[in-house]
Chain A
Amino acid sequence: AQKITQTQPGMFVQEKEAVTLDCTYDTSDPSYGLFWYKQPSSGEMIFLIYQGSYDQQNATEGRYSLNFQKARKSANLVISASQLGDSAMYFCAMRLPNTGNQFYFGTGTSLTVIP
């Protein structure tokens, strides 16, 4: 069963505007971690941001913020003031300590920033 769902295969955003990348997750475990990664065309996976299931506040890291809505089981990534270098694949992932610390990844969203 799909544990992480990213419904947007591709997204476009104008430079300097904000964009939201959607992610929903499925687990009945009370303890879990949610992650976002960026993968440029070069292929390396770059960690962006983390949200723990018990965290009260939404995580932020510079221009990245995670809109965590626990009741809806969503963990959307918001990128503010988009830059051309933000063009990449973005993956949402969930870590479940009760499954041997496996990470479950979504299928990714390809973001293109338009000048």
Chain B
Amino acid sequence: DVKVTQSSRYLVKRTGEKVFLECVQDMDHENMFWYRQDPGLGLRLIYFSYDVKMKEKGDIPEGYSVSREKKERFSLILESASTNQTSMYLCASSLPPPQGGETQYFGPGTRLLVL
């Protein structure tokens, strides 16, 4: 079974703090993704990576950065947390085509509250 783990289920931080969200997958997947989920907005892609040290901006990268030093680990960094970054953060991984129908496998999510 594919397993995607995230370092924390719940996190409370103060405005201005640097925040690290870690994601690890154990299936040797090339692709990894970070989303944030907000009520009424669905999942919005922050960043994704299709290989070690590679990263691509998603739809809402502002205020975030990422790091992928190892294939199994994809980190999301909030350089200076702000209250509007309070959200649910979901990490996912997948295989690339031509596997085609391969779904994304999601971690359990991190609920971040920025005070």
Query: Across the interface, do B101 and A102 meet the contact criterion of CB distance under 8 Å?
Result: no
Supplied contacts A35-B103, A43-B111, A105-B35, 19 more A-B pairs, CB within 8 Å: A6-B42, A9-B40, A33-B101, A43-B88, A43-B109, A44-B108, A47-B103, A47-B105, A93-B43, A100-B48, A100-B56, A101-B31, A101-B96, A105-B42, A105-B43, A105-B44, A107-B41, A107-B42, A108-B42
Q: Which of B78-115 contact A (CB under 8 A)?
A: 88, 90, 92, 94, 96-97, 100-101, 103-106, 108-109, 111
Chain A: which residue is nearest B9 at the CB level? A43
Let me know if A50 is at the binding interface, CB within 8 A.
Answer: yes
Mark B residues whose CB is within 8 Å of A: 31, 33, 35, 40-45, 48, 50, 56, 58, 88, 90, 92, 94, 96-97, 100-101, 103-106, 108-109, 111
**Given A44-B106, A44-B109, CB of A102 within 8 Å of CB of B100:** no
A34 to chain B: closest residue by CB: B101
Tell me, yes or no, whether A25 is within 8 Å of chain B by CB: no
Query: Range of interface residues on chain A?
Result: 20 to 34
Closest to B97 in A: A97
Contacts A101-B50, A102-B58 given; indicate if A107 touches B100 (C-beta within 8 A): no
